[in-house]
Amino acid sequence: FPPSPPSTELVHRIITDYCSSIKSEDIEEAGCAVCGVLTAKKNLHDMTKQSIDLKLLSSDSPFISRLPRSRVTDEVHTCKGPLLASKCSGICNSCLTALNKGKIPSLALVNGNWLGDIPPQLQGLSWIEKMLISRVSHNRCIVRVHSSGQWKMKANAVFFSTPTPKILAALPPKLEDLDEVLAIIFIGTIKPTESEFRRTPLLVRRNKVAEALEWLKLNHIDYSDLQISYQNLQQYPETLPPVVVECKLKQNPVEPGSLSVDNKEEGGVENGECPFIVHGLLGSDVD
């Protein structure tokens, strides 16, 4: 003791073994075309080389799949052919085994798990815009936006579940109703400006919300009887958050307890959208 330092050969072998264990083909994942579950690429099989009955993955039921509509007068049509995840060409072992036995895999998209591709109307929604198009209100939320003197920003949200979920008949909800489920706290050296609010996910684009609700009403069975309230939508500002922001001004907004021992630099970004972390709390967590 002490042991002798490792030889050059041993160091080389350790490095080689480590690099071999983290090769991209060993850790890279891709979706299974049948069930959509992320699977290691090395465990996926090429669909085109398998002799399986794709008719097992087809369904004519409008409750399983449906093509998007653009007008109310359009008829509802189901997707033709097998229900497969787009842009996925492999099949996992469990789905392949079931299909080879002539059975529908339990996690297959055709087994009531199909959602389809995300339409442009539902892409790029901010966090608060997603709240406005959600038909079921089952939680309350506190959002804290932290801005330092160096203009770094970060934000986090904590959700508290409510004992009685509320199903809304009209969307978006009235502006005053949002105060009951959302609170925003801003911590910084000065009061926030519109440019700072634009970096947060707390602003509402009225046209984006309207497009999302109109698409859902046409194509989502749970939104078929939804009443879209354009009057409520016009109440929402586009340059400020829709609820009153409580400002807490501090000369030194950096909280020492939030910094790690070996990193004294605060988190957040100086430019672009600020990081946004969402936490969920259940009643059992609070108790």
Q: Give the span between the Cα atoms of 252 and 16, in whole angstroms.
A: 48
> What ranges do the domains of the chain cover?
11-117, 121-286
281 confidence band (pLDDT: 50, 70, 90): low
Question: What's residue 174's pLDDT?
Answer: 92
Residue 259: is its pLDDT beyond 60? no
Read out DSSP for 80-138?
A: PS----TT--EE-HHHHHHHHTT---TT-IIIII---PPPGGGTT--HHHHHHT-SEEE
Quick: pLDDT tens for 147-176. 775 567 788 888 887 777 788 899 999 999
Question: What's residue 175's pLDDT?
Answer: 92
Question: What's residue 39's pLDDT?
Answer: 94
- One-letter amino acid of 20: S
Question: Which of 117-131, 141-155, 192-206, 269-283 has the least mean pLDDT?
Answer: 269-283
Question: What's residue 57's pLDDT?
Answer: 94
Which tokens belong to 214?
A: 């109109």
Its pTM surpasses 0.85: no
- One-letter amino acid of 166: K
Q: Give the span between the Cα atoms of 82 and 56, in whole angstroms.
A: 8
Q: Which of 110-114, 163-167, 261-265 has the highest mean pLDDT?
A: 110-114
Average pLDDT over residues 183-212: 89
Q: Which residues pair with 227 in a beta bridge?
A: 170
Question: What's residue 254's pLDDT?
Answer: 58
Average pLDDT over residues 261-268: 57
Q: Is pLDDT larger for residue 119 or for residue 195?
A: 119
Which tokens belong to 20?
A: 């071999």
Question: Which of 45-49, 201-205, 282-286 has the least mean pLDDT?
Answer: 282-286
Three-state SS for 2? coil
Average pLDDT over residues 100-119: 93
Extract long-range pairs of 24-28: CB within 8 Å, 24+ residues apart.
Answer: none
Kindly report the three-state secondary structure assignment for every residue of 203-222.
Answer: CCCHHHHHHHHHHHHHHCHH
- Roughly how many angstroms between the first and final C-alpha of the chain, as a whole number? 52
